[in-house]
Structure 1
Amino acid sequence: MDLTDNEKVKCASYCLMDDARIWWEEIELSRDIMNTDEFNNFHQGNLSVTEAVKRFNQLARLCPHMVPNEQERLRRMIGMLKSEIAVIVDSGTAPPTTTAECVKCALRAEYHLNKQKESQTRQNEVPKNNNNNQNRGNFRNQGKSQGGQWNNNKRKGNFSNQRNHNNRQGGGQPAKQVRNIPPCSKCGKLHLGECRMGTNLCYGCGHEGHLFKDCPNKNYQPFQQRQQRNPLAQLHSMHAALDGPHISQG
């Protein structure tokens, strides 16, 4: 005779006697209590409708006393579904009257809710992509702005270096610097300091008694160095050498 595993267990339990029989009855009682507690607290949770209905039917077979008729079975099935699915199933114009109808309504509700969530997810992803593109655009613009500023600073630096270079070159050209000196109102020459025209002072050393061309100090090395370091003084001395014979110095 072919028997299922459950049937074999039942047949074997009838052969138990005395203490073994008492032990088996306690095992069955504790198992029934656990199944009853699980059935009372069972909810769909993260399970799909198909998975939840499968487990519900298993518990209903283990606890037949808790679902004595179709109405009680239907009530418990709707109660174990997710709240958003249970509301759709139980609040329609034609609520289900059997567990089979309840399963069909629950599957349709689950399908539409999943579609709605997918659509909402796609809509939320669009602004994120736009924000990322905007951030990349701002970064590129910032890079261009910094690059332009660097080029401007570079051009300014080149201009400043060129100007300094020109100034250094102009240091050896006293004629360019003299252009900015106004003519002397007394002698009409270009020079700085007090005009010595009409005095007996040497245009070179500033002493009396001789002209610049006869100045005994004109070959004096420190004086020549001062003349070389001061282009304006050198130019003044040149004018003095040219005009010296025409100036009375005593």
Structure 2
Amino acid sequence: MFEGGANPMEADDYMDQVETHLTSMDVTDDHVKIILATYKFSKDAKLWWKSVTNQYKVEDMSWQMFKELFYEKYFLVTKRLELRDQFNGLIQGNMSVTEYKNKFTSLSRFVPEMMSNEVNKTWNFISGLHYQMRPLITAQYLKVYSKAVEKALILEGEAKDINAGNEQ
């Protein structure tokens, strides 16, 4: 169900779930996609959709136009730009590698052009790693994201072992 409301992440999650379901069901007709996507609308979202159907000829609406109207209403451009800026400024800091990777993955959907290929994705991940870890991974010139994550996790584990040894 999607009720609408003020949380843009819920709107984005809803749209992501809908698109996943539509793909798995092999739905290609835009009108059918829109019917299925709006079927689970309630409260504010249902009222909004009713107003859209009064303004537009929904039968001829493209899926892309539906998504644009949906995001215009529930996921404002300013919020998307804010999340893009969060991604651009993302650094590991005190986060574990796993926490950093999860945050990186969560925010990366707002910068698809920066994730367009494996090398860019990997470089963006490495560039936000802790300053002590970054040169050790950069020196290996890793081009595959999963390998960079794996190396970062290994280095983090080794650092913990060293710190534990120093404490003893």
TM over 0.5: same fold?
yes
Identity across the alignment (%): 21
Instruction: Give the alignment of 1:163-242 within 5 angstroms.
Output: none
Count, aligned residues: 115
Contact 1:32–1:63 (8 Å) recurs in 2: no
Shift of 1:45: 1.2
Distance in 2 between residues matched to 1:102 and 1:22, nearest whole Å? 38
Distance in 1 between residues matched to 2:76 and 2:99, nearest whole Å? 26
Computing the radius of gyration over CA atoms, which structure comes out larger, 1 or 2?
1
Shift of 1:119: 2.0
Residue aligning to 2:88: 40
1:54 aligns with 2:63: no
Residue aligning to 2:119: 71
TM-score when normalising by structure 1: 0.40
Contact 2:91–2:128 (8 Å) recurs in 1: yes
Shift of 1:57: 0.9
TM-superposition CA deviations, 1:203-248 (whole Å, max 9, x none): xxxxxxxxxxxxxxxxxxxxxxxxxxxxxxxxxxxxxxxxxxxxxx
Q: Which has the higher contact order (CA 8 A, sep 6+)?
A: 2
Distance in 2 between residues matched to 1:22 and 1:75, nearest whole Å? 33
Residue aligning to 1:116: 162
TM-score when normalising by structure 2: 0.58
Among candidates 5, 8, 22, match of residue 14 of structure 2: 5
Shift of 1:87: 1.5
Among candidates 97, 119, 134, match of residue 86 of structure 1: 134
Contact 1:85–1:109 (8 Å) recurs in 2: yes
Distance in 2 between residues matched to 1:121 and 1:23, nearest whole Å? 55
Aligned-pair Cα RMSD in Å? 2.9
Q: Any unmatched runs of 5+ in structure 1?
A: 123-250
Distance in 2 between residues matched to 1:44 and 1:80, nearest whole Å? 6
Shift of 1:8: 5.5
Shift of 1:70: 1.2
Change (3 A) 1:120 1:71: same
**Which residue identity does 1:110 align to in structure 2?**
E
Distance in 1 between residues matched to 2:160 and 2:104, nearest whole Å? 22
1:31 aligns with 2:79: yes
SS at match of 1:44: coil
TM-superposition CA deviations, 1:169-201 (whole Å, max 9, x none): xxxxxxxxxxxxxxxxxxxxxxxxxxxxxxxxx
Residue aligning to 1:166: none
Change (3 A) 1:28 1:118: same
**Which residue identity does 1:25 align to in structure 2?**
E
Residue aligning to 1:101: 147
